[in-house]
Structure 1
Amino acid sequence: MTIQIVVTFDLVPERLAPTLAAFQELARHTRREVGALRFDVFRSEAEEHTVVLVEDWADQEAIDLHMKQEYTRAFLAAVDGAFRTPARVHRLAEIGG
């Protein structure tokens, strides 16, 4: 069974454009990873400063490898201070599964 994760971010309005660009760059690289089955970045239509990641990973090893990538570290450095609140990470479990 794969690992599905949804992460929401509340962006600082003044950092919106560069942070969205950083998310796009991260997604471009991440989608090339063998264990990344899905890595999509969305912007909320209801809350313009909210970004949502929808991820699907082959296994925990793929996630661990992703977090060690240079482009992931570069993304984290680029968005340092760009969020009004800590990211909300939701690791999903199927109901009844």
Structure 2
Amino acid sequence: MSIEITVLFDVVPDRLTDTAAAFEELCAATRQEEGARRFDAFLSEEHENLIVLVEEWADQAAIDLHMKEGYVADFLAKVDGAYVRPPYVLRLRPLDA
């Protein structure tokens, strides 16, 4: 069974443009990873300055490898201080699981 994660990022308004660009780079690189089944970032239409990351991974090992990638460290450095509050992480499971 794959692992699905959704993360909400409340971005400081004057950091939205550069943070969105950093997410675009991260998504493009991550989609090349073998264990990444989905890795997409969206802007909320209802909530200004909210970026929503939707992920699906083959397994926990794929997530662990992803977190060790150099471009993840680069992304984290680019978005340091860009959030109003810590990201809200939702690790999801089917209702019938």
Root-mean-square deviation (CA, aligned residues, Å) is 0.5
- Equivalent-residue separation in structure 2 for 1:70 and 1:96 (angstroms): 37
Aligned to 2:37: 37
Aligned length: 97
Aligned to 1:89: 89
Aligned-partner residue type, residue 44 of structure 2: S
Unaligned runs of 5+ in 1: none
Where in structure 1 do 4 or more consecutive aligned residues deviate above 4 Å? none
Deviations 1:22-77 (A, max 9, x none): 00000000000000000010000011200000000000000000000000000000
Q: TM-score by structure 1 length?
A: 0.98
Q: TM-score by structure 2 length?
A: 0.98
Aligned-partner residue type, residue 66 of structure 1: H
- Equivalent-residue separation in structure 1 for 2:11 and 2:50 (angstroms): 6
Aligned to 1:5: 5
The share of aligned pairs that are identical, in percent, is 57
